């Protein structure tokens, strides 16, 4: 059945939904119209708080009874009126006809029940089968989702599995009763790029094999580009653009979609400021009149004070956008100016002696103790790390979860003492310092954590949180600290009038700015940035990346930038270190490592990264899905069992080899076969 003749299995028409609160009505959805056809994968994208999850949960009525007020519109699901159905009817629909995969698998799975029983419970709930048949089907589903040793996984608890394995378990549960519709709400956001590629490939293949329609919710436009047939773009509870994925992403018609694409580091020039979207998402309890994007839109004019409907884009009736410029043809969207960004030039390549040097760093954690108090074994978190970082330089560290990135950050901050090796900061060996001297020098290196909500005291006003590193010294008056907090807030783009608020009164991007201001309070020379943008939307991410570049230019800071987002690292880093199982497997300039990768693992990592404009199909970049255990390290090359190029000699330990001797910064690759490997061919046609 062709897409034009296929019937709609999900059809939302003019849905307007409010949340009544003590502060007034929160307008979560406003006149939302959306359709998913048989066998189609539809993407729903937008920033946090735009209404994506509310839309998905409304389809199967997962929102708490009495918490919402639907003022207009209808929802049809496989010909059923969802809003008019009773709860008993909906219980028969959920899990049987429609399944949902949530963002965080650890929260979606019951930690006290074994995996096998959780899957069979879903089967027994909707079908009359024996216990043996249900267990056989559960095992077959896990095998179909490429879960190794399915019988062992059936007996395991969720906390015994990796994040990618738990997500595959959720997919098996979702497909257990052959649903007609699958709703996937940010199912790969918390996963590494290699695991994300595997999960997306499984989702796409199984949906095609079973004829399942998919509504895929995400904020990652690159994932939409490689997975979805069509896409809807949401902003502040409104659908602002819809159409075939290729058309929307290559020829965006709405200023918001264009601004989102310009915010992506994938499409920006390395070390140059991104075109971040000015302002913030409006308060849904107090929406602006007319177009919701009007206060942030560089093309706004008088007509935008009225709410636009969806107009067809030139040349394609299927591609529509809610923008008056399409209707009036008074001005071309091609003339929409780039959104303001710091026009500071990129920082030059740093030279001189290293500010930070790591020499043969190893970290082992004891696991279990015998009756004598001796460790039964060790987790080998870091296994011989050698790195150097200069003032004014950004060193990016990338790798999968479990490779040792966060352990490396803790070692640099001296929050962990290495089992072996030296940490030299500005010529001082930190391992030999007395505790009092270490506290004094630690002011020169600070850390910014991944989740600003967790790293800020919710009971402390923001101005106190910012100057806390100075307040604990007890040497300054309250008035001096307040003035210092004001200056630091202005440094990171916060208004002084906001400083008496609490952290929960700020957006995610603003909280990260607060965390950065606190890190700057002691006047550091080095910032350790541990996944500082992974919890942020792409538009807020662009603002924070621009802030890092501007601060580095003004203050000459050195950054150790840890991330699993290769596009972000490509944009901000001077040099890149690729980590695998506690080792550096490749080290060089950003262009060397990310444009022409040498190590097979780096190649697999880059092959897993979805790209806007790429015509390549999703494929498995490595032979084995799971990272080997760091309890019992592999013999020889750590990557050998997953490497598609493994051969004779890989059973021996590998060392970092110089592959480009003429470069100012030698490029190092931990692979004895690097010069014999075929050239790297994956190219992005848009670059």
| Dist CA 214 CA 56 (whole Å) | 11
Lowest mean pLDDT among 137-151, 342-356, 372-386: 342-356
What per-residue confidence (pLDDT) applies to 474?
76
**Could you tell me what percent of the chain has a pLDDT over 70?**
91
Q: Which residue has the tokens 């001077």?
A: 574
pLDDT above 70: residue 261: yes
* Residue 625 CB neighbour total at 10 angstroms: 18
> pLDDT higher for 537 or 446?
446
β 558-562/526-530 pair status: parallel
β 375-389/394-398 pair status: unpaired
The length of the chain in residues reads 687
In which band, very low, low, confident or very high, does the pLDDT at 671 lie, cut at 50, 70 and 90?
A: very high
Angle at 418 between CA 413 and CA 419, to 5 degrees: 170
**Could you tell me what percent of the chain has a pLDDT over 90?**
49
Angle at 591 between CA 553 and CA 199, to 5 degrees: 105
Closest CA to 584 of 656, 499, 675: 656
> pLDDT higher for 218 or 453?
218
Instruction: Give pLDDT tens digits for 66-81.
Output: 889 999 999 999 999 9
What per-residue confidence (pLDDT) applies to 663?
52
pLDDT above 80: residue 85: yes
What per-residue confidence (pLDDT) applies to 196?
81
What per-residue confidence (pLDDT) applies to 384?
94
| Alpha-carbon distances, residue 591 vs 588, 595, 660 (angstroms) | 8, 5, 13
> Chain-wide mean pLDDT for the chain?
86
In which band, very low, low, confident or very high, does the pLDDT at 686 lie, cut at 50, 70 and 90?
A: very low
pLDDT above 50: residue 340: no
Closest CA to 39 of 172, 228, 223, 168: 228
What per-residue confidence (pLDDT) applies to 517?
94
Which positions ≥6 away from 495 have C-beta within 8 Å? 489
Dihedral-angle region of residue 186 (phi above 0 means left; psi in -120 to 50 means alpha; beta otherwise): left
227: tokens are: 């997975």
* Residue 354 CB neighbour total at 10 angstroms: 18
What per-residue confidence (pLDDT) applies to 615?
54
| Dist CA 607 CA 146 (whole Å) | 19
Q: Which residue has the tokens 């990264």?
A: 609
Among 229-238, 340-349, 528-537, the range of highest mean pLDDT: 229-238
What per-residue confidence (pLDDT) applies to 28?
93
In which band, very low, low, confident or very high, does the pLDDT at 524 lie, cut at 50, 70 and 90?
A: very high
In which band, very low, low, confident or very high, does the pLDDT at 339 lie, cut at 50, 70 and 90?
A: very low
**Mean pLDDT of the 292-318 span:** 89
Lowest mean pLDDT among 6-15, 301-310, 659-668: 659-668
Instruction: Give pLDDT tens digits for 459-480.
Output: 999 999 999 999 887 778 999 9
**Mean pLDDT of the 120-129 span:** 90
Name the E strands within 78-179: 80-81, 98-101
What per-residue confidence (pLDDT) applies to 577?
97
541: tokens are: 């991410």
Closest CA to 498 of 536, 462, 549: 462
pLDDT above 60: residue 373: yes
**Mean pLDDT of the 150-175 span:** 86
Instruction: Give pLDDT tens digits for 11-35.
Output: 999 999 999 988 789 999 999 999 9
Strand order in the sheet with 420-425: 375-389, 356-369, 420-425, 428-429
pLDDT above 60: residue 333: no
In which band, very low, low, confident or very high, does the pLDDT at 269 lie, cut at 50, 70 and 90?
A: confident
In which band, very low, low, confident or very high, does the pLDDT at 1 lie, cut at 50, 70 and 90?
A: very low
In our burial notation (b when 16+ CB lie closer than 10 A, e otherwise), range 291-317 reads bbbbebbbbbeebbeebbebbebeeee
Lowest mean pLDDT among 196-205, 479-488, 585-594: 196-205
């Amino acid at each position: 059945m062709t897409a034009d003749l296929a019937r709609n299995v999900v059809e939302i028409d003019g849905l307007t939904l409010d949340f009544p609160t003590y502060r007034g009505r929160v307008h979560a959805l406003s006149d939302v119209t959306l359709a998913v056809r048989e066998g189609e994968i539809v993407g729903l994208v937008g920033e946090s708080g735009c209404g994506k999850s509310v839309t998905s949960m409304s389809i199967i009525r997962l929102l708490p009874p009495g918490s919402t007020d639907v003022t207009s519109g209808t929802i049809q699901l496989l010909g059923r009126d969802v809003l008019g159905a009773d709860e008993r009817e909906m219980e028969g629909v959920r899990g049987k006809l429609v399944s949902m995969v949530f963002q965080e698998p650890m929260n979606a799975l019951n930690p006290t029940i074994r995996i096998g029983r959780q899957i069979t419970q879903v089967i027994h709930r909707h079908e009359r089968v024996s216990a043996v048949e249900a267990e056989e089907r559960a095992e077959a589903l896990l095998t179909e989702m490429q879960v190794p040793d399915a019988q062992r996984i059936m007996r395991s608890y969720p906390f015994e599995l990796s994040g990618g394995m738990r997500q595959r378990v959720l997919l098996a549960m979702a497909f257990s009763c052959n649903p007609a519709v699958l709703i996937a709400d940010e199912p790969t956001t918390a996963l590494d790029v290699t695991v994300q590629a595997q999960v997306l490939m499984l989702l796409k293949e199984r949906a095609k094999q079973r004829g399942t329609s998919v509504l895929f919710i995400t904020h990652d436009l690159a994932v939409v580009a490689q997975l979805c047939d069509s896409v809807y773009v949401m902003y502040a509870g409104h659908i602002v653009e819809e159409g075939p994925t290729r058309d929307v992403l290559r020829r965006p018609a709405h200023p918001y979609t264009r601004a989102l694409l310009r915010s992506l580091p994938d499409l920006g020039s390395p070390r140059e400021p991104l075109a971040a979207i000015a302002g913030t998402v409006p308060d849904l309890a107090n929406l602006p009149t007319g177009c919701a994007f009007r206060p942030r839109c560089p093309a706004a004019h008088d007509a935008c004070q009225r709410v636009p409907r969806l107009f067809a884009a030139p040349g394609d009736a299927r591609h529509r956008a809610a923008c008056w410029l399409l209707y009036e043809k008074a001005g071309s969207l091609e003339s929409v100016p780039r959104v303001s960004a710091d026009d500071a030039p990129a920082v030059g390549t740093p030279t001189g002696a290293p500010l930070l040097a790591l020499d043969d760093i190893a970290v082992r954690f004891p696991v279990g103790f015998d009756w004598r108090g001796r460790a039964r074994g060790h987790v080998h978190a870091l296994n011989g790390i050698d790195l150097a970082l200069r003032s004014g330089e950004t060193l990016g560290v990338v790798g999968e979860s479990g490779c040792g990135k966060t352990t490396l950050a803790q070692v640099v901050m001296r929050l962990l003492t290495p089992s072996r090796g030296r940490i030299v900061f500005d010529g001082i060996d930190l391992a030999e310092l007395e505790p009092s001297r270490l506290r004094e020098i630690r002011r020169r290196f600070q850390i910014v954590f991944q989740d600003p909500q967790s790293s800020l005291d919710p009971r402390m006003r923001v101005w106190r949180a910012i100057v806390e590193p100075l307040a604990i010294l007890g040497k300054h008056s309250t008035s001096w600290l307040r003035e210092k907090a004001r200056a630091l807030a202005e440094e990171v783009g916060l208004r002084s009038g906001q400083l008496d608020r609490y952290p929960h009164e700020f957006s995610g991007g603003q909280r990260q700015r607060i965390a950065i201001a606190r890190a700057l309070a002691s006047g550091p020379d080095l910032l350790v940035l541990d996944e500082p943008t992974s919890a942020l939307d792409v538009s807020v991410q662009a603002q924070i990346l621009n802030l890092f570049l501007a601060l580095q230019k003004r203050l000459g800071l050195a950054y150790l930038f840890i991330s699993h987002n290769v596009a972000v690292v490509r944009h901000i880093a001077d040099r890149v270190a690729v980590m695998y199982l506690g080792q550096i497997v490749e080290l060089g300039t950003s262009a060397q490592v990310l444009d022409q990768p040498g190590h097979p693992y780096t190649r697999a990592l880059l092959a897993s990264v979805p790209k806007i404009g790429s015509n390549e199909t999703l494929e498995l970049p490595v032979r084995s899905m799971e990272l080997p255990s760091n309890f019992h390290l592999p013999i020889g090359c750590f990557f050998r069992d997953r490497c598609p190029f493994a051969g004779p000699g890989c059973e021996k330990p590998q060392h970092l080899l110089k592959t480009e001797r003429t470069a100012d910064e030698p490029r190092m690759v931990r692979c004895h076969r690097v010069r014999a490997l075929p050239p790297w061919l994956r190219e992005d046609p848009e670059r």
